[in-house]
Amino acid sequence: MRPGGWMEALGGFPRGLEDDLLARTRSRRLDFLAFSSCFPVAPGPVRRMDPAPSAVRLTVREAIHTLSSSDDCGLILHTLRFLKRYLGETEDPALPEEQEEFATVHFSAFLRCLVRKLSPVWLELSPDGQLEELWDSFFLKGPADQAFLVLMEALEGTAGPSFCLMKMAQLLANFLSQRRVAALMEEQCRPQKKPGFPLLQETLLSKVVGLPDHLGNRLQQDNLALFYPQNYFPLLGEEVVRVLQGIVDALRGGLDCSVSFVSRVLGKICIQGRQKEILDVLVPQLTALTQGSCLWQRVCWRLMEQVPDRTMEAVLTGLIEAATGRPEVLSRLLGNLVVKSKKAQFVMTQKLLFLQYQHKTRMLQSLLGYLAMDSQRRPLLVQALKELLQTWGSSSAVRHAPLAQQQYLSAAILICLAHLREPELRDSQDELLASMMAGVKCHLDSSLPTVRRLGMIVAEVISSRIHCEGPALKFQYEDDELSRELLALATPRTEGSSPIEAGGPSPAPTASETLAKTMDDGVKSANGSVPQAGPQGSDSDRDSDDEFIPYDMSGDKELKSNKAPLYVRDCLEVLTSSEDMECWEAALRALEGLVYRSPEATLEVSVELAKVLLHLEERTYVSGFEGLRRRALVAVVVTDPVRVAEYLISQFYALNYSLRQRLDILDVLTLSAQELSRPGHLKRSPQQVSCGSGAPVLATSQPDHTAGSGWRAVVEERIRSKTRRFSKGFPWRELLSSPNEFNSVAGYFFFPLIRHFDRPLVTFDLLGDDQLVLGRLTHTLGALMYLAVNTTVVVSMGKALLEFVWALRFHADIYVRRGLLSAVSSILLSVPAERLLGDLCDELLEARSWLADVAEKDVDEDCREQAVRALLLLERLKDRLPPLSH
Amino acid sequence: MEPLIADASFWPECFGCCNNVTGDCTLPGMAVPVPQPPPDPQFVLRGTQSAVNALHFCRGAQAQGCPLLFSGCQRGLVHIWSLQTRRAVATLDGHGGQSVTWLQMLPQSPQLLSQGRDLRLCLWDLAEGRNAVVDAVCLESVGFCRSSVLAEGQARWLLAVPGKGSDEVQILEMPSKTSVCTLKPEADAKPGMPMCLRLWQAQSSPHLLLLAGYEDGSVALWDVCGRKVCSRVSCHEEPVMGLDFDSQKARGVSGSAGKALAVWSLDGQQALQARSSHQLPNPGISDVTIRPDRKILATAGWDHRVRVFHWRTMKPLAVLDFHSASVHCVAFATDGLLAAGSKDQRISIWSLYQRV
């Protein structure tokens, strides 16, 4: 092929190429029987060996001459009708060899001539439309590939909008709706020996697939609905089914066919992102057709195998999506493609399992179900499970992969496990167990609760499957939607519709039985205290139970003995030394109220009390122990903020505390700061205490009827109704205003806490293993910053916090980064704008570029979102900020 | 006497809404609804300034137009509360500062009986705004046993009071104060002190009967005329603290210092039979009362709670958790209003399962 030959091919069949084709046709070998039986051309080429131009050539040349020079309608019609003989459609067709010659050599040149002649005036030569009909028929009846190419070429070359353009678009629409594309593709499926055939196919391929784009560009506003992608590709899907039907018929007739062109069309459409349009048509039809037909299945398998590697991923993804929830359909359509094609294997066992985590779990189920359905594919499933577990168990993946991907991986593992049977797992038991152990460790190390829970769930399921003997691994985690969904994936599903059929009739009676039983029980228990209900029931005053609906009695618990101490000091003593557990519990419950009620007494023992509470252990089961202890500690801190906060922070950085205690300290500091900064907290506390001891039900259920507010409202309403006002402003309510109690102590909370984070102890290394505490510390600092709004120390706090953030900005742990981002946001919210710009300008600029980086590149969605929020807060200051220097 | 009317603490206790608490939730035929949260008291009477030991609603003709509630307290005072103004209209002081343990209105005349720990049982005349002691009976028992009265419309009425001996019950004919008989258990029975009494006469029979709960946890039915125990049923482990009897259904209920609420019945041969026992989460029932329409019953618990049960089925209906100390007494008005008096010096008034 000459360089640039494809350009000519794209432009149709220019002269040189036609001759070239002709020359090669002559040397065509005839050993391909199947082909020759389709195309009876036997003696032709031999005769055309002589150099004299054939009769066909002369006729065509003459016809072209007539068309281009004559305006005589009768002559033109006659010429066209004469040529039509070569298409074999008339009652007096030309000789087969002449037809063949016309089709291969002269047809496209003649069509181009027709296109050139096209104009409204020319068509009007025959007012009865005969000419137009003849003109159309050449395109619609002649060889489809050439007609299509000429038509597309003409559409490309015609300036629009014009009559010719619209006429040809209309013709193309007819071409499509008369199913000529099927003919075109079917032609390409026959064994071809034509020279330049690959080039032709390539051109056809790009024109067929790119039709909507070409036409859209060409016709702009005047585009026809048929050429819209959403209409065109489904049509193409229908055509593909028709072609495949033709191929199946041909194969039944003993003819050889190739589906590679169809595969390429399919691939090209899919890689252009039109999977959904075509496969939504194709898959249901193929599903129906392949049911029970081996031939159809083989054609389908072949179709998929012939898809070029480049487009394999797009096709497979689309296919699996279209067949979601039906692995048996996938199995029918794909066969053992995954074993035969390296690319398909890569896509299905690597890309879709590990990387394309945006897909739904149902798709994973059908993919893995497909792998599990055939014995040849099952080794791949085992292999996939091993690799999945390896990734799941790698600490780097746990640390750096996005959460969604980790969930996807976990779901894939659980589905694999559900499909695999005991013997298959046993072979690789050790390997799986090792990966699981490593994985559990790094998942439980994570500071994100979701990751920890994923680790627990997956580990539970794996251990129950591969390690049946011995006690089952059981973690304590809260049952939520995620865990239920994942556990549901892990239960092996029985094949096909058997569960429905088996479960259909039988559960119904059992359900009604149990219902009846429970109702009986209910009646029995209602009458339980009166065994002889019969005579009772006949009482004249038998009342219906409907009017006696029980109230909620869930609060009816055993009354704790009233041993609660009445003084803070007594409480302290009981908590430290009492052996009486009831007394101890009562003291713990009473402590918060006592502290709020007697601040003076608390001040005397505050640090001691904090120490006791910090070290308090749950000696006996007390419901809500953690909350009680935390609230009591908060009360102590609120009462004596400076000393207790100082003590707690010194303990935070001391040796020999558990993680739990350190986290508690941070929580308590945050909550106390919140309490202190709340407006009017001092007024609120005693009221809360009195509610707690008095009538909590009243306090909660009727907040509006409490002390005196009722009559005040009535009085005010009366005054308002009797008062005449000349102007009505916006009704404003006097807000309770009080100084921020946190103002004077914020520094005591903040600075000691931020000071020592980079000094590791033997047992406590914030920058090392204790990243969970570090994460919580960053969140706490952010919260303290936020609560210190309107205080005087806020600027220096902001400065210190920004430096802290800067030092840790590339921390590997997601939870820490989230904390840092929230800290930045709270700085932006708390520090007044003018101070931000005046004192913290440089730091802010640095933070800004970091935020932009995080917003773009962070693996964690939450981090990205928080960074964007912080950037938006920064945007508010943007007008006054100098531009970002690159 | 203190100016109770001026007690400012009274105002906040009027917890608004006097509407029917149960009214809107009881749509018959609905699927099992989410249980409503326990109701709040309709209002609370405060100002006794000591533990409330006895409550009694003014019944019958006297109550027409102005419903009254009597309460007896630890300080020996009897307060008369108007349920309309929700204030004390009068205070009776007749027990020398000793606790008042029992209050009962006589059905025919506007006369109130009050029993105090000063070993006196006073009869007050409340007609036309008077409040004077017109008569008094000296008791000989220092126990906590509440008396019982039977007045079926005659001019003379009977009174059962704890007797001189620690296990005796004395029946007096009033107003002559003549002793009818003394009911003394047989020597080998040893039931301990009587804890609560209930005089009762079946409509059809002339027999005068007395139900008595004893210290050993048994309930005995005495035939007063025969001076013998007809039947005895041991239904509690702990002393019986309170009982009530539904004479139409011939069924009674008793509460004790233990955790059980016992239901027993009386058959045609005047034999008591234990029917069922209902376990409570916390021990101690100081009073049991069946509503006059015999639909529900209420118990006063040492666990600060008033419990409401359906009388026919004994199905628990509500746990009223308002008081902050032991509830000592519960009483029902004829219109169904429930009052509970507690050691925390408050009287809570509830409106439960009332027909409008």
- Which residues in chain B have their CB less than 8 angstroms from residue A539's CB? 249, 312
CB contact under 8 Å between B37 and A701, yes or no, is yes
High-pLDDT (> 70) share of chain B, %:
88
> Mean of the pLDDT values across residues B311-322?
91
The reported pLDDT for the residue numbered A545 is 58
Beta bridge partners of B251: B246, B265
Say if A559 is an interface residue toward chain B (CB within 8 Å).
yes
Q: Is the pLDDT score of A20 beyond 60? A: no
- Is residue B112, in this structure, part of any structural domain at all? yes
Concatenated DSSP letters of A312-368: HHHHHHHHHHHTTT-HHHHHHHHTTHHHH-HHHHHIIIIIIIII-TTS-HHHHHHHH
CB contact under 8 Å between A553 and B304, yes or no, is no
CB contact under 8 Å between A705 and B39, yes or no, is no
- Is residue B84, in this structure, part of any structural domain at all? yes
Say if A379 is an interface residue toward chain B (CB within 8 Å).
no
Residue contacts between A and B (CB atoms, under 8 Å) = 118
Say if A849 is an interface residue toward chain B (CB within 8 Å).
no
Q: What single-letter DSSP state applies at residue A767? A: T
**CB-CB: which of A529, A542, A697 is closest to B40?**
A697
Interface of B with A in 309-338 (CB under 8 A): 310, 312-319, 321-322, 324
What are the C-alpha distances in Å from A348 to residues A377, A432, B101?
A: 11, 21, 87
When scoring A559, A702, A711 by the number of chain B Cβ atoms within 10 A, the one with the most, hence best to mutate, is A559
For position B71, which CATH number holds? 2.40.10.480
Q: What three-state secondary structure class fits B223? A: strand
- Is residue B19, in this structure, part of any structural domain at all? no
Average pLDDT, chain A: 78
CB contact under 8 Å between A550 and B313, yes or no, is no
Say if B156 is an interface residue toward chain A (CB within 8 Å).
no
* Type of residue numbered B50: S
The reported pLDDT for the residue numbered A727 is 61
The dihedral over CA atoms of A631, A637, A640, A641, expressed in degrees to the nearest 10, equals -150
CB contact under 8 Å between A549 and B312, yes or no, is no
Contact A367, A373 (CB under 8 A): no
Concatenated DSSP letters of A541-582: T---GGG-PPPP-TT--PPPPS---SSHHHHHHHHHH---HH
Nearest chain B Cα to A522, which residue?
B315
Listed residue (A341, A336, A290, A333) closest to A313, CA to CA:
A341
> Mean of the pLDDT values across residues A507-529?
41
Strand duo B338-342 + B240-246: pairing: unpaired
Between A88 and A794, residue with greater pLDDT: A794
Half-sphere exposure of A18 (CA within 13 A, CB side): 17
Nearest chain A Cα to B293, which residue?
A541
The reported pLDDT for the residue numbered A45 is 42
B215-241: pLDDT as tens digits: 999 999 998 888 889 899 999 999 999
Contact A848, A871 (CB under 8 A): yes
The reported pLDDT for the residue numbered A607 is 92
CB contact under 8 Å between B321 and A547, yes or no, is no
Lowest mean pLDDT: which of A18-32, A262-276, A602-616, B111-125?
A18-32
A138-150: pLDDT as tens digits: 888 888 888 888 8
- Which residues in chain A have their CB less than 8 angstroms from residue B281's CB? 556-559
- Which residues in chain B have their CB less than 8 angstroms from residue A543's CB? 295, 312
- Is residue B274, in this structure, part of any structural domain at all? no
Q: Is the pLDDT score of B197 beyond 50? A: yes
The reported pLDDT for the residue numbered A547 is 73
CB contact under 8 Å between A539 and B36, yes or no, is no
Between A120 and A687, residue with greater pLDDT: A120
Look at the alpha carbons of A499, A502, A508, A510 in this order and tell me if their dihedral is positive or negative.
negative
A181-221: pLDDT as tens digits: 888 888 888 876 666 678 888 888 898 899 899 888 888 88
- Is residue B108, in this structure, part of any structural domain at all? yes
In angstroms, rounded to a whole number, what is the distance separating the alpha carbons of residues A107 and A561? 106
Say if B296 is an interface residue toward chain A (CB within 8 Å).
yes
What are the C-alpha distances in Å from A337 to residues A284, A315, A506, B63, B243?
A: 19, 12, 41, 95, 85
- Which residues in chain A have their CB less than 8 angstroms from residue B355's CB? 547
Say if A730 is an interface residue toward chain B (CB within 8 Å).
no
- Is residue B286, in this structure, part of any structural domain at all? no
CB contact under 8 Å between B282 and A558, yes or no, is yes
The reported pLDDT for the residue numbered A560 is 66
- Which residues in chain A have their CB less than 8 angstroms from residue B18's CB? none
High-pLDDT (> 90) share of chain A, %:
14
What value, to the nearest 5°, has the Cα angle with vertex A418 and ends A415 and A423?
Answer: 130
* Type of residue numbered A83: L
- Which residues in chain A have their CB less than 8 angstroms from residue B28's CB? 544, 546-547
Q: Which residues contact A233 (CB under 8 A, 6 or more apart)?
A: A212, A269, A274, A277, A278, A281
- Which residues in chain B have their CB less than 8 angstroms from residue A702's CB? 15-16, 40
Q: How far is C-alpha A529 from the geometric centre of its chain's CA atoms?
A: 58
Q: How far is C-alpha A351 from the geometric centre of its chain's CA atoms?
A: 15
When scoring A539, A556, A709 by the number of chain B Cβ atoms within 10 A, the one with the most, hence best to mutate, is A556
CB contact under 8 Å between A529 and B275, yes or no, is yes
Nearest chain A Cα to B37, which residue?
A552
**Per-residue pLDDT band at B267 (split at 50, 70, 90):** confident
**Per-residue pLDDT band at A561 (split at 50, 70, 90):** low
Say if A534 is an interface residue toward chain B (CB within 8 Å).
no
Listed residue (B204, B224, B72, B100) closest to B160, CA to CA:
B224
Query: Exposure string (b/e) for B130-159, b if CB count within 10 Å is 16 or more?
Result: ebebeebbebebeebbbbbbbbeeeeebbb
* Type of residue numbered A487: L
In angstroms, rounded to a whole number, what is the distance separating the alpha carbons of residues A497 and A492? 14
**Per-residue pLDDT band at A742 (split at 50, 70, 90):** confident
Say if B343 is an interface residue toward chain A (CB within 8 Å).
no
How far A447 CA sits from the closest chain B CA (Å)? 39
**CB-CB: which of A530, A547, A693 is closest to B314?**
A530
Say if B28 is an interface residue toward chain A (CB within 8 Å).
yes
Nearest chain B Cα to A545, which residue?
B310
Token digits of residue A208 = 């067929």
A394-425: pLDDT as tens digits: 888 888 888 889 999 999 999 998 888 888 88
What value, to the nearest 5°, has the Cα angle with vertex A694 and ends B242 and A582?
Answer: 75
Q: Which residues contact A23 (CB under 8 A, 6 or more apart)?
A: none
Q: Is the pLDDT score of A44 beyond 90? A: no
Token digits of residue A607 = 């640090």
CB contact under 8 Å between A698 and B304, yes or no, is no
Q: What single-letter DSSP state applies at residue B319? A: E
The reported pLDDT for the residue numbered A540 is 43
How far A753 CA sits from the closest chain B CA (Å)? 43
Q: Is the pLDDT score of A700 beyond 50? A: no
**CB-CB: which of B28, B40, B249 is closest to A702?**
B40
Strand duo B111-116 + B296-301: pairing: unpaired
The reported pLDDT for the residue numbered A16 is 43
The reported pLDDT for the residue numbered B345 is 93
Say if B281 is an interface residue toward chain A (CB within 8 Å).
yes
Q: What is the ipTM of this complex?
A: 0.78
How far B351 CA sits from the closest chain A CA (Å)? 13
Between B150 and A884, residue with greater pLDDT: B150
- Is residue B133, in this structure, part of any structural domain at all? yes
B59-94: pLDDT as tens digits: 765 556 678 899 999 999 999 999 889 999 899 998
A214-246: pLDDT as tens digits: 888 888 888 888 899 999 999 999 999 999 998
The reported pLDDT for the residue numbered A508 is 37
Beta bridge partners of A780: none
Say if A538 is an interface residue toward chain B (CB within 8 Å).
no
Number of structural domains (chain B) is: 1
- Which residues in chain A have their CB less than 8 angstroms from residue B266's CB? none
**CB-CB: which of B16, B305, B315 is closest to A702?**
B16
Write out the residue range of the structural domain in which residue B76 sits. Answer: 50-138
When scoring A519, A530, A546, A551 by the number of chain B Cβ atoms within 10 A, the one with the most, hence best to mutate, is A551
> Mean of the pLDDT values across residues B250-265?
93
Contact B212, B223 (CB under 8 A): no
Contact B353, A548 (CB under 8 A): yes
Q: Is the pLDDT score of B18 beyond 60? A: no
Neighbours of A732 (CB within 10 A): 6
How far A622 CA sits from the closest chain B CA (Å)? 18
**CB-CB: which of A526, A532, A553 is closest to B319?**
A553
CB contact under 8 Å between B295 and A548, yes or no, is yes
Interface of A with B in 220-279 (CB under 8 A): none
3-class DSSP string for A688-739: HHHHHHCCHHHHHHCHHHCCCHHHHHHHHHHHHHHCCCCCCCCCCCCCCCCC
Nearest chain A Cα to B248, which residue?
A539
How far A537 CA sits from the closest chain B CA (Å)? 9
Q: Is the pLDDT score of A726 beyond 70? A: no
Beta bridge partners of B172: B159, B179
Say if B290 is an interface residue toward chain A (CB within 8 Å).
no
CB contact under 8 Å between A547 and B353, yes or no, is yes
Interface of A with B in 107-166 (CB under 8 A): none
- Is residue B18, in this structure, part of any structural domain at all? no
The reported pLDDT for the residue numbered A127 is 74
What value, to the nearest 5°, has the Cα angle with vertex A722 and ends A716 and A726?
Answer: 105
